[in-house]
Amino acid sequence: MVSSEKVAAPAAGPAGLADVWRELDASTLASALVAFLFAATAPVALMFAAAMKGGVGEAGLAAWIFGGFFFNGLISIGFSLYYRQPLALLWTMPGIVLVGQALTHLTMPEVIGAYIATGVLMLVLGLTGLVGRIMRAFPMPIVMGMVAGVFLQFGIDWLKSFQEAFWIAAPMTAAFAALMAMPHLARLAPPLIVAMIVGVAASFATGAIGTDTVAPVQPLLSLSLVPPIPMMPVLSWPAIAELTIPLAVAVLAAQNAQGYAILHASGHKAPVDAVTIGCGIGSLITAPFGTVPTCLAGPVSALIVSGNPPAKHYASAVVTSFLIVCFGVFAPVFARLSVVAPRALIACLAGLAMLKVLQSAFDGAFKGPNQLGALIAFIVTVAGIPILNVGAPFWGLVFGYLATRLFDPAPAKA
């Protein structure tokens, strides 16, 4: 049976652009700009790092950026206007990391086939209203244990960047730490953005720009608006088995759950089934461009709802989404920027971006119940040993779940 929740409009009815215009003020625009700047830095830094690890070239990276920003931005505008809520649907950050690992032994067409399978799965779950039941089947500590195991490498790569290019990594980390220690200043100058600026300046000062790659700096001066060409998928059962369940769990049980909690705390009741359907449709649209599956973006949502009354949140989301669409149009330019950036800059920026996420993953894995299952999921994922040609993150979930069912004591009934 199809739930009616996913299609029901809010009591006030869908909003129009005139409604958005009336809600705009300095605070609304500031929240939208900060949310956009985060979306254009932290997730993109992870995308660059995953592309570098997986051997994705400039054209492939441009396709990732175009699909992730342009199409998801349009979907976010539609959802935010229809439901009058800040529903920012972008892409799963854990999924970027999973795919970066998978590309070391899978081809991009095989990964795209797994994206399509994930999109179909989420679409079916949204249409049937089974999302809540599936989310409850996997205890959150096990999911967070797997996520922590995947994200750990980014923290390690951050530290290794000091060895590779100390005079890039050290100023970036120092600027980030200084702003994190001064929250009142960090609200005006986001630490990650400042760290990126410092890293670019340090790269120029040390002559590191362009030395890690064969790409010349001169092409940066030319702007290209030609959208990347989509790729045909290859249905590979090992790739589908390795990626589909971990990606779906990362979207539904980790990222979407975080987004729902943020919106609920801000006075919104997000339409769970509709968001799941949107994630499925978005994943199917963006898959041919190599973009990881669509999700409700928790960090971006948190920035959108900061400092504004709830009635204005959807307007901030629409402005953020419009800027995201514009960013996607210029995807080839940003892909070219990435290939001339030093590896240490990307590794350091991605590591700094992941610190809070990694901290939250460890907190969610080992603070409450199911700690043994979470530990097993973490260890299996960190080991990175594929079984039956299926990657470690999937087996982390499997063995973590089995350990919980076999050894973790059931919670006492009230």
Mean pLDDT check: name the lowest of 53-62, 218-227, 294-303, 322-331. 218-227
Q: Where are the beta strands (DSSP E) in 25-179?
A: 89-91
Q: Which residue has the higher pLDDT, 338 or 138?
A: 138
- Given a cut of 70, whether residue 380 has pLDDT beyond it is yes
- Given a cut of 90, whether residue 71 has pLDDT beyond it is yes
Please report the sign of the dihedral spanned by the C-alpha atoms of residue 239, residue 240, residue 243, residue 247.
Answer: positive
Q: What is the pLDDT of residue 191?
A: 84
Helix (H) or strand (E) holding 295: strand 294-296
Structure token digits, residue 277 = 């359907």
Can you tell me the distance from the alpha carbon of 115 to that of 227, in angstroms, rounded to the nearest whole number?
20
Please report the sign of the dihedral spanned by the C-alpha atoms of residue 135, residue 131, residue 361, residue 55.
Answer: positive
pLDDT band at residue 7 using 50, 70 and 90 as cut-offs: low
- Given a cut of 80, whether residue 155 has pLDDT beyond it is yes
CA atoms within 13 A on the CB side of 111: 28
pLDDT band at residue 122 using 50, 70 and 90 as cut-offs: very high
Q: Which residue has the higher pLDDT, 213 or 178?
A: 178
Q: What is the pLDDT of residue 183?
A: 83
**Which residues, at least 6 apart from 311, have a Cβ–Cβ distance to it below 8 Å?**
23
Residue/partner pairs of 224-230 with CB below 8 Å, 24 or more apart: 224/332, 224/333, 225/329, 225/330, 225/332, 226/332, 227/66, 227/70, 227/331, 228/59, 228/62, 228/63, 228/66, 228/67, 228/289, 228/331, 228/332, 229/63, 230/63, 230/288, 230/289
Closest of 319, 320, 382 to residue 40, by C-alpha:
320
Domain ranges of the chain: 4-163+211-347
Closest of 307, 55, 303 to residue 193, by C-alpha:
303
Can you tell me the distance from the alpha carbon of 251 to that of 192, in angstroms, rounded to the nearest whole number?
24
- Given a cut of 80, whether residue 268 has pLDDT beyond it is yes
Pairing of strands 294-296, 89-91: antiparallel
Contact call for residues 382 and 149 (beta carbons, < 8 A):
yes
pLDDT per residue as tens digits for the range 221-251: 444 555 677 889 999 998 998 899 889 888 8
- Given a cut of 70, whether residue 151 has pLDDT beyond it is yes
Q: What is the pLDDT of residue 413?
A: 43
Q: Which residue has the higher pLDDT, 66 or 338?
A: 66
- What is the chain's mean pLDDT, rounded? 82
The mean per-residue pLDDT over the stretch 49-67 comes to: 79
Chain centroid to CA 125: 21
Question: pTM to 2 decimals?
Answer: 0.72
pLDDT band at residue 358 using 50, 70 and 90 as cut-offs: confident
List residues bridging with 89 in a β-sheet. 296
Can you tell me the distance from the alpha carbon of 171 to that of 167, in angstroms, rounded to the nearest whole number?
7
Q: What is the pLDDT of residue 189?
A: 79
Q: What is the pLDDT of residue 336?
A: 61
pLDDT band at residue 414 using 50, 70 and 90 as cut-offs: very low
pLDDT band at residue 10 using 50, 70 and 90 as cut-offs: low
Q: What is the pLDDT of residue 214?
A: 39
Q: For the chain, what's the residue count?
A: 414
Q: Output the DSSP codes for 188-256.
A: TS-HHHHHHHHHHHHHHHHT-TTTTSS--SGGGGS---PPPPP------HHHHHHHHHHHHHIIIIIIH
Q: What is the pLDDT of residue 69?
A: 93
Closest of 171, 200, 154, 177 to residue 43, by C-alpha:
154
Q: What is the pLDDT of residue 202?
A: 92
- Given a cut of 50, whether residue 220 has pLDDT beyond it is no
Maximum mean pLDDT: which of 70-84, 135-149, 239-253: 70-84
Maximum mean pLDDT: which of 98-107, 238-247, 261-270, 327-336: 238-247
Closest of 40, 155, 412, 140 to residue 48, by C-alpha:
40
